[in-house]
Amino acid sequence: MNQSRLRFPLMALAMAAMLAALWAGLVRLGWRWPALQPALAMSHGAIMVSGFLGTLIAIERAVALRERWAYTGPVLSGVGALLLILGVGGPAGPLLMTLGSLWLVVVYIVIVRRHSSNYTLLMGAGAVALLVGDILWLTGWPVFRLVLWWQAFLILTIAGERLELGRIVRLSENAQLVFLAAVGVYLAGITTSLVSLSSGTRLAGLGMLSLAVWLLRYDIARRTIFKEGLPRFAAICLLSGYAWLGAAGVMGLTFGEVLGGVRYDAFLHAVFLGFVFSMIFGHAPIIFPAIFGVEVRFHRAFYFHLIVLHLSLILRVAGDLMSSPSARLWGGLLNGVAILVFIGMNLFSVLISRRASLGEISTARQSIGAAQE
């Protein structure tokens, strides 16, 4: 099978994982909807992080590596997530997802051997963090004890990608040293969490806050925000995401150990929704063409789902921290609406692009035919 043909079924698995995780998250939040299957709500975090985001990033890395064997990782994690969604009991689902994260580590080993740099090493460290989190989950650790590792997978991966783009602005040596120091504090925090969750969370929170401040200060988005169209939209997505990462850092420093409840919800979703999905919203019009070979035409309507995401997350976090269950519930529901609108907007943009392309081809053929006559 051609490599490009592998991407569509794998992306379908990733999207199924995301939709199932959204539904499970809303049921777990308190909406009295059908559970679909009894264990789904409890698997919300694993399906979203390892099943959806792990599969998505593994597909992206496989596309970049241009090696067919690299697609084994997203196959493993995607099928593992599907087993969880279908309610297949036993260790099969978690084991496959863990093997998928292990495969992603192998992919990064190859990438680092081909091109060793601070940013490839950092993204590789993110894959290791996912593997550690999945192993802890597979061996029975409660999610609140390991979720810092799942967060680290995404934070380190995104930070590595932004550091790579930092080559364009030619970061000073001092700026790079400050970045590495912030990463060192963050890594120390997630490692410490294995023996002391409270101390580790506070140290990781300091690392998050430091990384957020660094990104707000040095990221190229500070320049591209003054451009028009997609570059400005992507920059606003990125900068607003960094603000949520900073907010999560402040929460981690303030709360320390969180075993569940409303503070736990606010701390986690400031990262997973505010930071991560802002990155997804901003990068999707760039990543989707690379994966599928289709154009995603930017439209100012894209700002709608970004605004809904941030306003609804503010409502949700405020509901968490001010003990307002209704604000928390409605904020969570609107989080899901923002993500669904994002998917719809991008699909609609792809369809419009394809129609425009077909129209251009048809016009060109007619012109050629007329010239031949």
* pLDDT score of 173: 86
* pLDDT score of 360: 45
* pLDDT score of 246: 98
* pLDDT score of 120: 93
Mean of pLDDT values over 47-72 = 93
Q: What percent of the chain has pLDDT over 90?
A: 72
* pLDDT score of 356: 54
Contact 235, 212 (CB under 8 A): no
* pLDDT score of 364: 39
* pLDDT score of 284: 87
Looking at per-residue pLDDT, the higher value among 324 and 284 belongs to 324
Looking at per-residue pLDDT, the higher value among 297 and 29 belongs to 29
Q: Look at 123-137, 238-252, 287-301 and tell me which has the smallest mean pLDDT.
A: 287-301
**What's this model's pTM, rounded to 2 decimal places?**
0.91
pLDDT band at 126 (very low <50, low <70, confident <90, very high): very high
372: pLDDT strictly greater than 80: no
193-242 pLDDT, tens digit per residue, is 999 999 999 999 999 999 999 999 999 999 999 999 999 999 999 999 99
pLDDT, mean over the chain: 90
Q: Look at 31-35, 71-75, 233-237, 309-313 and tell me which has the smallest mean pLDDT.
A: 31-35
Give the Cα separation of 251 and 286 in Å (integer): 32
CB neighbour burial string for 273-311, b if at least 16 within 10 angstroms, e if fewer: bbbbbbbbbbbbbebbeebeeebbebbeebeebbebbbe
361: pLDDT strictly greater than 60: no
Q: What percent of the chain has pLDDT over 70?
A: 93
Sign of CA dihedral 334, 137, 101, 83: negative
Query: How is the chain split into domains, by residue range?
Result: 1-112
* pLDDT score of 297: 81
Report the 3 state secondary structure along the chain: CCHHHHHHHHHHHHHHHHHHHHHHHHHHHCCCCCCCCCCCHHHHHHHHHHHHHHHHHHHHHHHHHCCHHHHHHHHHHHHHHHHHHHCCCCCHHHHHHHHHHHHHHHHHHHHHHHCCCHHHHHHHHHHHHHHHHHHHHHCCCCHHHHHHHHHHHHHHHHHHHHHHHHHHHCCCHHHHHHHHHHHHHHHHHHHHCCCCHHHHHHHHHHHHHHHHHHHHHHCCHHHHCCCCCHHHHHHHHHHHHHHHHHHHHHHHHHHCCCCCHHHHHHHHHHHHHHHHHHHHHHHHHHHHHHHHCCCCCCCCCHHHHHHHHHHHHHHHHHHHHCCCHHHHHHHHHHHHHHHHHHHHHHHHHHHHHHHHHHHHHHHHHHHHHHHHC
75: pLDDT strictly greater than 60: yes
